[in-house]
Amino acid sequence: MEVPDFMQYSNKFTKSEFVEKISRIAKRAGAKLVYAALILFYTLQSDKVSLKDKAIIIGALGYLISPLDVVPDAIPIAGLGDDMAVLIFVLQKVWGEVSEEVKEKAKRKLDQWFDTDEIEEINHLFEKE
């Protein structure tokens, strides 16, 4: 099987298109996945992040929005597990580059889509489910 070129999805990283995609899957995906995706998306917009880190962020976000997954998103529970694993892996790689401003911006967006008790799960972002 050939690995897809996720860079072809980089044009989907406009704020409106990315937020629209995330908002459609938000409740099904859970606050933890959405928070990780938002942090990566907002970090990608920073001019303080290296090109190498931006490339792996684009790969992770491309995988999230790509219709081609190892485990199809339509499969309940497990469908978004591979997406979450990719996002967390990349987030751990770039965590030192993530500003407090980006974290707060992502939390503010979560407040629009989730209840307070659902948002609590982001406090355990790097813990396995």
pLDDT in tens, 44-63: 988 888 989 999 999 999 88
pLDDT digits (tens, 9 = 90+) for 100-120: 999 999 999 999 888 888 888
Residue type, 111: D
Q: How confident is the model at residue 90, as a pLDDT?
A: 95
Yes or no: say if 83 and 63 are a contact pair by the CB < 8 Å rule: yes
43-59 in b/e burial notation, b at 16+ Cβ within 10 A?
bbeeeebeeebbebbbb
Residue 93 has pLDDT above 70, yes or no: yes
CB 61 within 8 A of CB 8: no
pLDDT of residue 35: 94
Mean pLDDT of 11-16: 63
- Crossing angle of helices 100-113 and 31-44, in 10° steps, is 140
**pLDDT given for residue 3 in this prediction:** 46
